[in-house]
Structure 1
Amino acid sequence: MTFLRKIALGLVGALACIGAAQAQTGDTLKVATDATFMPFEFQVDGKLTGFDIELVEAAAKVMNKKVEWTTIDFKGLIPGLVAKRFDMAVSAIYITDERKKVVDFSDPYYPGGLVIMVKKDNTSIKGPEDLPGKKVSVQVGTKSVSYLQENFPKVERTEVEKNQEMFMLVELGRVDAAVTGKPAAKLFAKSRPTVKVLDKQLTVEEYGMAVRKDLPELTKELNAALAKLKADGTYDKLVQKWFEAGN
């Protein structure tokens, strides 16, 4: 093989790699969410809104990318990433060791944890120690399911597809409690005087943006964008808007 031919083949290979990388990420971020978890993600008149939605849009702007949203049930988010249906999933997803086996995560972007919601007049559940033997609603595919399985096997779980269903079962008295993420539970309780969130948390965890494992550069870009949003004050403004305003 001549020297010039080697150079030509090398250039073709390099261009192919560049083309593949561009095709893989491009100028559009394909992001999936389950838009049923206020204040993180929900819909108003068919339009996506919420803390996660605005944070992703802001990060994408820093990365010079557009966002293409897909809304699916929470239980399909991680499998969808594994199947490469989209690039990332953002839906108040807890960073767990189990999930990290199949997807990558951004740096943590908000603190959370599992809490217990009950009717305000409930006197039988004052803390986690009172959960065994009770009926508890949880959302399918969330950390709440596995947490109760492992730590409270005597709980009678009622698994539902949507976050709103989980809360409504408590309000209607069809279950004794719901176990879910603190921010959403607090927001719901704030709007419904008939329910309350117990002070003692079950867990203290952090939310992260899930990314396909074959897109490590995207995870790096995402972390850099989040860092910039925190540095320039954009992140704090979103936190104030969605979690602290009116408190």
Structure 2
Amino acid sequence: MNSSSLSRRIGALAVASTAAFALAGCASGGDDAAEQSGDDGITTLTPGILTVATGEPAYTPWVEDDDPASGEGFEAAVAYAVAEELGFADDEVEWVRASFETSVTPGPKDWDLNLQQFSVTEERKNAVDFSSPYYTTSQAVIATADSPAADVGSVAELDEHKVGASVGSTSYAIADAELEQEVATFNSNEDAVLALSSGQIDAFVIDLPSAFYLTGAEIDGGVIIGQFADTSGGDELAFVLPKDSELTGAVTDAVDALREDGTLAELEQEWLADAVDVPVLD
């Protein structure tokens, strides 16, 4: 989930509002788009509508059946919960699709919020805003269904098999700390996938969001065999907003409120624990 970005502030001209909406100040949309704010003070690209972007396609368990409007899946459910905190009803949320790369690089945006497992990095902050995190990733262990490591249930059992990770990554640091063996290193996750598929290693460690994607879309017969209990140093996933968006503070407040009242933990349990059944390796 690496991406480079250059800093640039995006401005747009405000347009005259209707009688139901006041004139908005700053906008971060396209050259002809302008944000407007309603009576509640929430400023959005389209008056009375919260435009939320996700990837195309969007994968389970983040979005079920590639249909974010259903509210099914962890990120879809989080988006609607945040929208409610901001004062938007479900039918006032409009979904659009955006590529991962363009979403975190400078340039006009046609959405108010965007979530597709974006990890917060200092480099990306030069081009976009982030809310506070709605999820901190754990490190997962993946294998193929016919791997000798496919049925391990503990760290001790995993240590009996050849395990790899991407060099210099959080995944490697966790694997190195948890396992007694010398962890095999690879220059990239793609190289580790090839090593797993060819039988050079029995399993490899990667962040849980990537594990969901790889086992669902890239690795034939891929399975997630477990996750480490320690999430320290895990990537923090957050909403992306256009640079200097007037919504950033409100979205952060909404995410914080959902964390404090236990909603995020409940949604995580429903969609990332119970639904996909990723056991913790003890």
Name the TM-score class by shorter chain: 0.5 to 0.7
1:20 aligns with 2:24: yes
Q: Could you tell me which of 64, 73, 82 is aligned with 2:99?
A: 73
For 2:256 and 2:110, the matched residues in 1 are separated by 27
Q: Could you tell me which of 68, 73, 76 is aligned with 1:53?
A: 76
More divergent stretch after superposition (81-90 vs 62-71): 81-90
> CA 1:179/1:193 → structure 2, altered by over 3 Å: closer, same or farther?
closer
Q: Which residue of 2 aligns with 1:126?
A: 163
Q: Which residue of 1 aligns with 2:255?
A: 226
More divergent stretch after superposition (93-102 vs 56-65): 56-65
Partner letter of residue 95 of structure 2? Answer: W
Q: Could you tell me which of 112, 122, 129 is aligned with 2:137?
A: 112
For 2:75 and 2:102, the matched residues in 1 are separated by 18
**TM-aligned CA deviation for residue 124 of structure 1:** 7.8
Residue pair 1:118, 1:178 contacting (<8 A) in 2 also: yes
Partner letter of residue 213 of structure 1? Answer: K
> CA 1:178/1:77 → structure 2, altered by over 3 Å: closer, same or farther?
farther
Structure 2 unaligned blocks of 5 or more: 1-15, 26-34, 37-42, 150-159, 172-184, 278-282
Q: Could you tell me which of 241, 244, 264 is aligned with 1:214?
A: 244
**TM-aligned CA deviation for residue 198 of structure 1:** 7.3
For 1:172 and 1:209, the matched residues in 2 are separated by 34
> CA 1:87/1:178 → structure 2, altered by over 3 Å: closer, same or farther?
farther
**TM-aligned CA deviation for residue 181 of structure 1:** 3.1
**TM-aligned CA deviation for residue 104 of structure 1:** 1.0
For 2:67 and 2:75, the matched residues in 1 are separated by 18
Q: Which residue of 1 aligns with 2:268?
A: 239
Structure 1 unaligned blocks of 5 or more: 1-14, 133-142, 145-153, 160-165
Partner letter of residue 224 of structure 1? Answer: D
The structure with the largest strand share of the pair is 1
> CA 1:198/1:109 → structure 2, altered by over 3 Å: closer, same or farther?
closer
For 2:231 and 2:256, the matched residues in 1 are separated by 28
Kindly provide the CA deviation profile for residues 152-186 of structure 1, in whole angstroms up to 9, marking residues without a partner as x: xx946586xxxxxx98x788659977775314526
TM (normalized to structure 1)? Answer: 0.62
Kindly provide the CA deviation profile for residues 104-128 of structure 1, in whole angstroms up to 9, marking residues without a partner as x: 1111111115656333337984143
Kindly provide the CA deviation profile for residues 178-223 of structure 1, in whole angstroms up to 9, marking residues without a partner as x: 7753145269869x675646759996221111111131x3111112
Partner letter of residue 73 of structure 1? Answer: S
TM (normalized to structure 2)? Answer: 0.55
For 2:68 and 2:212, the matched residues in 1 are separated by 24
Q: Which residue of 1 aligns with 2:30?
A: none
The structure with the largest helix share of the pair is 1
1:38 aligns with 2:60: yes
Percent sequence identity is 25
Residue pair 2:211, 2:224 contacting (<8 A) in 1 also: no
Kindly provide the CA deviation profile for residues 119-158 of structure 1, in whole angstroms up to 9, marking residues without a partner as x: 3337984143xx57xxxxxxxxxx99xxxxxxxxx94658
For 2:107 and 2:257, the matched residues in 1 are separated by 28
Q: Could you tell me which of 82, 103, 115 is aligned with 1:90?
A: 115
How do 1:155-170 residues align onto structure 2 when only pairs under 5 Å count? 155=186, 157=188
Structure with more contact order per residue of length (Cα contacts < 8 Å, sep ≥ 6)? 1
> CA 1:207/1:234 → structure 2, altered by over 3 Å: closer, same or farther?
same
